[in-house]
Amino acid sequence: MRTATPPRSRPKSRSSPPVRRPRRPAGARPDVNRRLVAGRLIMVTLLALAGLKLVTVQTVQSGELRADGDKQRVTRLPLPAERGSILDRAGTPMAFSVQAKALSANPFLIGRDQGANAINRKTQIAIGIAQLTGVDANQLYAALNTDRHYVILVPLVEPAVARAVIERFPEIGQEDRESRQYPGGPLAANILGAASWNMDQHKLHGVVGLEASEESLLAGTDGFRVVDTAEGGNTVIPGSERAERAAVPGSSLQLTLDSDLQYSVQQQLAAYVNLHGAKDGSAVVLDAQTGEVRALATNATFDPRDLAAASANQLGNPAVTTPFEPGSVNKIITMAAALDSGLDNPMTVKDVPDSIKIADRTIHDAWTHPRQNFTLTGILARSSNVGTLMTAQQIGPDRFWTMLNKMGLGRRTGLGLAGESSGRVPPRDTWSGSTFGNLPIGQGLSMTVLQLAGMYQSVANDGLRVPPRILQATVDPDGTKHVEPRPDPVRVVTSQIAQQLRQMLVAVTQDGKGLQRGTGVDAAVPGYQVAGKTGTAQQVNPACGCYSADRYWITFAGMFPAQSPRYVIAIMLDAPTHGQNASGLFHQIASTLAQRDQIPVDPAPAPMAPLVVP
């Protein structure tokens, strides 16, 4: 620890300076100086150069170099947003997404690496993947046995299976996919539509139906992560995250559909259409009070899990997009207007001949009869064209036109499905003399099955028409539910008139003798009163531009049970070859509803209204 110098060293140091001095030659100093100067100059020059370069790199070239460096390191990794689900009203998923992988390979590289052994290896891979995934081995082998640089071997496979494949065959690559699941298959497929993987956007994309029309809602927003990655690979350097924006998953869509009811209506409709040889058919079930669509079925449907097998006409939703001429179901407008005008009541008796002349045309009843005394109820229940037109002439076209508008014809219902048709109603100012001979009996105008159901919904809901809706709510990713705004109801008739109309419609299904028999007896359900109306409309024959004599639209619309309606059902069959009546299908659907909802039975026998009086 002592820092003091030992004393003995001192004498040496005292004598040293005189010794050292003579060692430096007198001529050496200028040489050293010169060298030092030269050295300094070189150093300074180098420093200056380095400084200059530094300034250049840091300022002039900085942007370019930084960009070059970033290009090598910085990678923007997308964070895919999960697509929202589509639920039915009970929350049962009808469409949802799960994570999946696609297996890909580079057959060219496998061929090059394996050389002569390539065939063997490719066979091994094909068989191995076939075992693990259940895909046809021949198909895999065919895909592998090319010279291409990129083939997708299996488009959708569970992640665990994909890992197993890659563990076994390192040549195989995997890519992220999102697999859209439709657990019900063809259940409500025409409404839901389908989404498929879009290779360019690297995400699921709605192709048809709600999946397409609600794409922005369902898709969510993709996020991203900016990170540094090792060159030539995608290995993320830990801690190199520069920016990150989390993906916002898509919202879910809750429909008003009841998937059980939808299934049975779809089944029953398809069977009925098959049985009667119809070209097509649609059916809709509405909640009588709220106008919510409980089931909406069309005959031609597809399986969204196998989109490639579906034909173009199966993908559509004709119940919404394709209007038809309604026929006698439209007589409800005349009846409502007649009661509303106060000129008639359900028991008003009219002397109805077999035919009536309107402008230049003569219109007959569907069956020949002598002059008979029909009650107004009888005119509707027996579906007398002549009686209806007499009533229409009595109330005049303006009252009829007002009622027709109140019923929502000629306007879209705003249901919530894409491509909805408004139907076609000739504007009031274009009416010719014969137009008013057509419209009251449901010819010369067209409507969708939803508009048809909407008319009867107003009768079922005590005269208050609530436009049908199929979207119940949207559910945010965090679970917040936003209930869709309910449409404004339209007052069509008073509740008393609606009540009278329901009683008149009950008479349609009354099983009387002879002239007291309604046209829709098959629709009756034992133990309940059923209110409904049959309809038959001639189709236009494109060959002559006239009404065809053998092709019809067969319709039925009604409500169930009649006293306090819970459901409104509308059915349309397109050109059935035999059995010109859709009331049997109404019966099936109503019967299913009665059992399902355990609707209380009304033990009192249905009242018999006089249809034709002496």
Partner 1 sequence: MSAPAVERTRTARPAARQPVARRSTGVPAPRDAGGAIGRAYARRAVRERRQSGEENAAAAGRSQFVLLIMVLFGVGLVASLWLSTTAAADSYRLDTARQATRDLSERSESLRTEIATMQSAPALAQAAQQMGMVQVSDVARLVVAPDGTVAVVGTPKAAVAPYVPPPVLAPAAAPPVPGQPVDPAQAGAQGQPVDQGQQSEQPGDVAGADGQVAPAQPQVPAEPGPVTQSGGQQLAVTQQPAGAGQPSPTRQTPQQFAAAAAQAQQQAGQQAAQQQAGQRQAGQRQAGQQQSGTGQQTAGAPTWPATGPGH
Residues serving a catalytic function are 328
Question: Does residue number 104 form part of the binding site for partner 1 (CB under 8 A)?
Answer: no
Beta bridge partners of 295: 285
Sequence-distant (6+) residues with CB within 8 A of 600 are none
Report which secondary-structure segment, H or E, holds 530. Answer: none
- Which listed range, 215-223, 242-250, 271-279, 374-382, lies at the site for partner 1 (CB under 8 A)? 271-279
Instruction: Write the binding mask 391 to 430 for partner 1: x where contact by CB under 8 A, - elsewhere.
Output: ----------------------------------------
- Which listed range, 296-304, 384-392, 539-547, 555-563, lies at the site for partner 1 (CB under 8 A)? 296-304
Question: Does residue number 19 form part of the binding site for partner 1 (CB under 8 A)?
Answer: no
Torsion sign (Cα): 68, 71, 73, 76: positive
Q: What gap in Å lies between CA 151 and CA 452, rounded to an integer?
A: 51
* CB-based contact 133:154 (threshold 8 Å): yes
Q: How far is the CB of 448 from partner 1 (least distance, A)?
A: 22
Candidates 170, 239, 526, 545; binder of partner 1 (CB under 8 A) is 526
Candidates 84, 111, 173, 186; binder of partner 1 (CB under 8 A) is 186
Candidates 140, 154, 501, 554; binder of partner 1 (CB under 8 A) is 154
Q: Tell me whether residue 572 is exposed, middle or buried, using C-beta atoms within 10 angstroms of its C-beta: 0 to 12, 13 to 18, 19 or more.
A: buried
Q: How far is the CB of 159 from partner 1 (least distance, A)?
A: 5
Q: What gap in Å lies between CA 519 and CA 534, rounded to an integer?
A: 7
Question: Does residue number 15 form part of the binding site for partner 1 (CB under 8 A)?
Answer: no
Nearer to partner 1, 447 or 524 (CB): 524
Residue 574's φ and ψ, nearest 5 degrees, are -100, 110
Candidates 246, 275, 483, 613; binder of partner 1 (CB under 8 A) is 275
Closest to 473 (Cα-Cα) out of 191, 98, 90, 216: 90
Q: How far is the CB of 280 from partner 1 (least distance, A)?
A: 13
Q: How far is the CB of 92 from partner 1 (least distance, A)?
A: 7
564-593 residues in contact with partner 1 (CB under 8 A) are 588, 591-592
Nearer to partner 1, 113 or 136 (CB): 136
Question: Does residue number 197 form part of the binding site for partner 1 (CB under 8 A)?
Answer: no
Q: At CB < 8 A and 24+ separation, what contacts does 364-370 make?
A: 366/536
User: Taking the CA atoms of the chain, what radius of gyration do you get in angstroms?
Assistant: 41
Residues 330-341 as b/e (b if ≥16 CB within 10 A, e otherwise) read bbbbbbbbbbbe
Instruction: Write the binding mask 83 to 102 for partner 1: x where contact by CB under 8 A, - elsewhere.
Output: ---------xx--x-xxx--
Sequence-distant (6+) residues with CB within 8 A of 546 are 540
Size of the site for partner 1 (CB under 8 A): 60
Instruction: Write the binding mask 297 to 336 for partner 1: x where contact by CB under 8 A, - elsewhere.
Output: ---xx-x-xx------------------------------
124-143 residues in contact with partner 1 (CB under 8 A) are 132-135
Nearer to partner 1, 196 or 393 (CB): 196
Torsion of CA 382, 385, 390, 393, to 10 degrees: 130
Q: How far is the CB of 95 from partner 1 (least distance, A)?
A: 10
Q: How far is the CB of 275 from partner 1 (least distance, A)?
A: 7
Q: Are strands 464-465 and 490-491 parallel, antiparallel or unpaired?
A: antiparallel
Question: Does residue number 229 form part of the binding site for partner 1 (CB under 8 A)?
Answer: no
Closest to 71 (Cα-Cα) out of 225, 223, 232, 200: 232
Cα of first residue to Cα of last residue in the chain, in angstroms, is 142
Candidates 104, 145, 155, 566; binder of partner 1 (CB under 8 A) is 155
Question: Does residue number 254 form part of the binding site for partner 1 (CB under 8 A)?
Answer: no
Q: What gap in Å lies between CA 309 and CA 311, rounded to an integer?
A: 7
User: What phi-psi label fits residue 134: left (phi over 0), alpha (psi between -120 and 50 degrees) or beta?
Assistant: left
Amino acid at 547: Y
Q: C-alpha angle 114/120/126, rounded to 5°?
A: 105
- Which listed range, 2-10, 26-34, 48-56, 533-541, lies at the site for partner 1 (CB under 8 A)? 2-10
- In the complex, which residues of this chain contact partner 1 (CB under 8 A)? 1-2, 4-5, 10, 13-14, 17, 92-93, 96, 98-100, 132-135, 154-161, 179, 181, 183-187, 259-260, 262-264, 266-268, 270-272, 274-275, 300-301, 303, 305-306, 525-527, 588, 591-592, 595, 601, 603
